[in-house]
Chains A and B, each alone.
Chain A
Amino acid sequence: MSDFTPVATGTGVRARVQRGGAFLAGMIMPNLGAFIAWGLVTALFIPDGWVNRIARATGAIGAKDSTSFATEASAIVGPIIVFLIPILIGYTGGRTVHGQRGAVVGAVATVGVIMTPFALHLGSAKVPAPEHWESLGPQFLGALIIGPVAALVMKYVDRLFESRVKGGFEMLVDNFSAGIVGGVMALVGLFGLGPVVYWLTTVLGAFVDSLVNARLLPLASIIIEPAKILFLNNAIGNGVLVPLGAAQAKVTGKSILFMLESNPGPGLGILTAMMLFGPLAIRATVPAAIVVQFLGGIHEIYFPYVLMKPILVIAAIAGGASGVLMFSIFNDGLVSAASPGSIIAYIFVASPGDLPTILLGIIVSAGVSFIIGAILLGFGHGKQSGLDLEAAREQSARNKNKPATAPAA
């Protein structure tokens, strides 16, 4: 049976990084609906949200007032980001490691890391200690760690008791072992992990802020765009940038970090260049790919086109960086994750008032990617294309085989 496939070779560096990233992203991605719900209620109901903006514009309330409806409805915002989402992450992380029992202890343990700054009045690192639970930061990093760890502990404890429990006592042992592990891990989270990740999150946040302020953020595209092409898009976007962005958005109401990986502009530019100047044999497949990428937000669809002609990664980097530059010049941000990275998602989660400049940034990044992509493709007149369909087909077949024959490193 195993002669169907070559020996399993899932040990390459790329596969390992992908797998590590997939583990992180696997805790975030099933819960993206909660992020989006949070983003939508935030964009609608916060003091500067759509409801108040529209009410002010129509003269229903004063320029600095809020409608009582928006004020009441905004009560949902805090609990979702402070409690629900970290607990969902810890729950999902626990479930990945040890099923439903792992999920439960992961969720309980997460409450510990969430409450650390509140319970211990951590106010060092130049951050004022929270006076009310609503001023707690979203403890994603802590949840990403403690959820799977608590589940791992549960798994070992279960293994310890396995087949040593007298008949009839299984339920008693199961429930109380989970309860005790959950409670102990919540304390470990509160006193042990919590202070560490609180400090880490503060340092990381300050680092990101200084990158933003120094306008150095476009440099991130040098790493992000090539990594995306290697299918690390979920690892980076959902595994790293969404948690960081949500932490920032909790404080400032929006974050540019949500846009670093999810900007659909560079992909659109590259696909358009491919459609007009790419190998003739594949041009016909591109228009459908553009719809899936730009409107559907499934970026994976353009990665193979770049892998066919790896030099195109330069077009992706340039487009990504110019988009980030535009966003940072105009101080743009999204209120929550644009996931999937579709233009439609962008319209929904753009920070109220930022939409025009965000769209401009997307257009610029698409334009830059397109122009550089077109140059790199020789405007369709390069030696590999031209009007000889047969040669083009051969070339594209050869290109196509390249990544397949060279095993993923």
Chain B
Amino acid sequence: MTRMPGPLRFAAVRHGLVVIVLAAAVAGYTQIAGSFADFQLAQIAIYVMAIAGLTVLTGLNGQVSLGHGALMAIGGYSAALVMQHDPNGHLPLAVVLVIATAATAVAGGIIGVAAARLRGPYLAGATLALAVGIPQLAVARQFAHTLGGEQGLTVRSPQAPSFLGSSFSLEHWLSWICAAGALVVLFLLSNLVTSRYGRTFRAVRDDEIAAALAGIHVARTQVLAFVVSAASAGLGGALLGVVTSLVAPAGFTLVLSIALLTGIVLGGLGSIVGAVWGSILVVYVPQWSTDLAHSLSFSTVMGSYFAVAFYGLVLIVVMLVFPSGLQGGIVRLWGMAASRVRRG
């Protein structure tokens, strides 16, 4: 690797620059796109947080979680409960989000302690139980009163600050908030990955015995990965509540957990940039499939079948063409192009 000049030597500076460029691109994009694009952008941003968090856990640390939708639920419900205890809205949204994130991080720590004793299929099974079980707590008789049962809890929408002008819509503001959250998560996680913690995560994933013999506390590393990953998912879940102004069990089904897992595999296991590709695919491809079904003027029933089948087809094709995920594929194509240029 060649040495980069000046401040670019520091990974954190490079990550910061990328984040600034992305922020500018997002701001520009929302200026020209309509309100539906705003909603989609918010959705992608929410997935980016959860999928990037899952990438750290599964891709970098080797712990499979089929239950990240449940962690998003914890984040969403935490935000809703905090807002309920603050009916006049004194707390700024940022504070609510920080509390929700912290609450999910704590939950992640508890799950992580249990997970550190489980391996492979056992861990997958345990987290699967979380994905199914935790959202159902809201329906359980003991909690239905506090957590709102099937109907769920309402979440207050924030108001766009007045200095942005009266024509600045709420959707616009929400998409900006989500994008900002996603960029903060991406920045922090990218730095984590290139730090010594990132290296210990990978060492523990590849060889627990060697890691322990190198003086790394294996269980503590695994719990830390779970905490970081849960915090990211919790922020995403809280913002999902804010964007849809509702948290309900139906919003955090097993399908969500599976979609997150699909995202990390499609994007490229273990790559934070891949998490962004994965999120875009997981949000857009089902949308495109539905649009395509519409344009082919299928009946409603046929259309919905077609959409699902088309989504599956895209996933299969992507995995066949890019077995190491989109990011892996891009890196490989880039390498091939670069070596061709060098050879002339």
Bound together? no
Interface, chain B (partner A; CB < 8 A)? none
Interface, chain A (partner B; CB < 8 A)? none
